[in-house]
């Protein structure tokens, strides 16, 4: 090879090497996955322990835990937790007080952040709210939604996830009329309230979003506990609120309270960027079979793929839905009476051997698919 040919070859080689992307995906973006799951409500027998005020919810999670694997995994913890200490005076609907071990179970499943603004936040009054927050701290799990002091309420809640700052704001449209259980001086900051039947609160909610951005959030998630129960779609006012919040700068709206899965949609802003609206995630853990509404046992684990480029610009790249079923295993074939079943491509995992559970899982999958459409269904 002549010197001229060698130099030409070397020049071509350098050109090729320097045009290969730094990452296999072709850019220098930081990418994270954020996962969302719905309501945790320990009805009736779900509060039954294993003796001496001891409980274990990890068996509930033995199948779903392999799928809760995002960088930030949020779930709606809809009840006060061990508010009297030592799992005493455990209660279920209508005013919950659930065992401390539910927190161990959720963390075992992979959840690392709780949303706590909902209609049961005041079930055990001000002391119950304070005790619940203390139990979250004791368990070592992040949370937002309930506050026991004004300073925490005013401080934007931002968590760093692989170098991306994620802000989370949680609101509820109801506390089941239990305001009287919280002293008047604490009510303005105990939970964030909004009205889901009008647009009147959009200005203050938009200010909250902007304030969270101004304090360094790269991504803003707005959690809304709202709407009618046991319905399969939001009403038009809910749609208008969610879209207005995306227009105001929210990236993701996380909805819950219907206890049934509801649609997802992309909403595009005028500048061409988009945000994701999850109108309701359904139930993650709840035994409401007595209502005769099959969809109360169905839920969704939603995964959102987020990228931030080297200039700080954020984009939501994709979102997928994994349907779930919270089932009674009456034959205890899985060693537990209740279990969260992930449903992959219409089928329960092989560990689920009872045909009635497999058939139940297929019905759940078909229902969720009809609600959210093929665009979002996890392959």
Do 119 and 175 form a contact (C-beta atoms < 8 A)?
A: yes
Q: How far apart are CA 91 and CA 129, in angstroms?
A: 15
What pLDDT, on the 0 to 100 scale, is given for residue 12? 35
Per the document, the length of the chain is 379
- Dihedral sign for Cα 264, 304, 174, 194, please: negative
Instruction: Give the least confident one: 156-165, 202-211, 324-333, 339-348.
Output: 324-333
Confidence class for position 340, pLDDT limits 50, 70, 90: very high
Strand stretches in the chain, DSSP E: 30-40, 72-77, 113-115, 142-144, 158-161, 164-172, 219-225, 252-256, 264-268, 274-278, 283-285, 298-308, 314-328, 338-342
3-state helix, strand, coil in the chain (%, to 5): 30, 30, 40
- What is the greatest pairwise CA distance in the chain? 91
CA distance readout (Å), 34 to 93, 107, 178, 233, 311: 30, 15, 33, 23, 21
Q: Is the pLDDT of residue 247 over 60?
A: yes
What pLDDT, on the 0 to 100 scale, is given for residue 143? 98
Structural domains present in the chain: 27-372 (3.60.21)
What pLDDT, on the 0 to 100 scale, is given for residue 26? 53
User: Structure tokens of 109?
Assistant: 């499943």
Q: What residue has token string 């200490």?
A: 85
Q: What is the pLDDT of residues 250-277, one digit of tens each?
A: 999 999 999 999 999 999 999 999 999 9
What pLDDT, on the 0 to 100 scale, is given for residue 156? 98
């Amino acid at each position: 090879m002549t010197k001229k040919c060698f130099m030409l070859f070397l020049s071509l080689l350098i050109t090729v090497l320097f045009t290969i992307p730094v990452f296999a995906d072709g850019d220098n973006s930081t990418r994270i996955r954020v996962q969302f799951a719905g309501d945790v409500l320990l009805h009736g027998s779900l509060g039954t322990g294993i003796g001496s005020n001891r409980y274990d919810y990890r068996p509930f999670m033995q199948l779903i835990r392999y799928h809760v694997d995002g960088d930030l995994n949020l779930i709606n913890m809809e009840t006060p937790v061990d508010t009297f200490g030592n799992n005493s005076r455990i209660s279920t609907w209508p005013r919950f007080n659930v065992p401390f071990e539910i927190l161990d179970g959720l963390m075992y499943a992979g959840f690392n952040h709780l949303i706590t603004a909902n209609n049961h936040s005041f079930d055990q009054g001000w002391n119950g709210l304070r005790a619940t927050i203390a139990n979250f701290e004791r368990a070592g799990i992040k949370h937002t939604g309930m506050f026991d002091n004004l300073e925490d309420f005013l401080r934007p809640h931002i968590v760093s996830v692989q170098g991306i700052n994620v802000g989370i704001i949680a609101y509820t449209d109801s506390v089941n009329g239990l305001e009287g259980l919280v002293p008047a001086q604490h009510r303005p900051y105990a939970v964030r309230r909004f009205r889901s039947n009008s647009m009147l609160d959009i200005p203050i909610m938009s200010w909250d979003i902007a304030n969270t951005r101004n304090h360094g959030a790269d991504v803003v998630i707005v959690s809304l506990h709202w709407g009618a129960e046991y319905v399969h779609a939001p009403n038009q006012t809910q749609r208008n609120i969610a879209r207005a919040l995306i227009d105001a700068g929210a990236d993701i709206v996380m909805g819950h309270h219907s206890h049934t899965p509801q649609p997802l949609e992309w909403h595009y802003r005028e500048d061409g960027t988009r945000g994701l609206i999850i109108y309701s995630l359904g139930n993650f853990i709840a035994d409401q079979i007595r209502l005769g509404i099959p969809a109360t046992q169905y839920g969704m684990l939603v995964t959102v793929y987020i990228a931030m480029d080297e200039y700080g610009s954020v984009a939501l790249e994709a979102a997928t839905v994994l349907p779930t079923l919270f089932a009674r295993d009456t034959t205890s074939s899985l060693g537990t009476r209740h279990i969260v079943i992930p449903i992959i491509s219409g089928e329960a995992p092989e560990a689920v051997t009872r045909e009635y559970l497999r058939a139940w899982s297929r019905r759940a999958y078909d229902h969720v698919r009809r609600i959210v459409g093929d665009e979002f269904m996890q392959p």
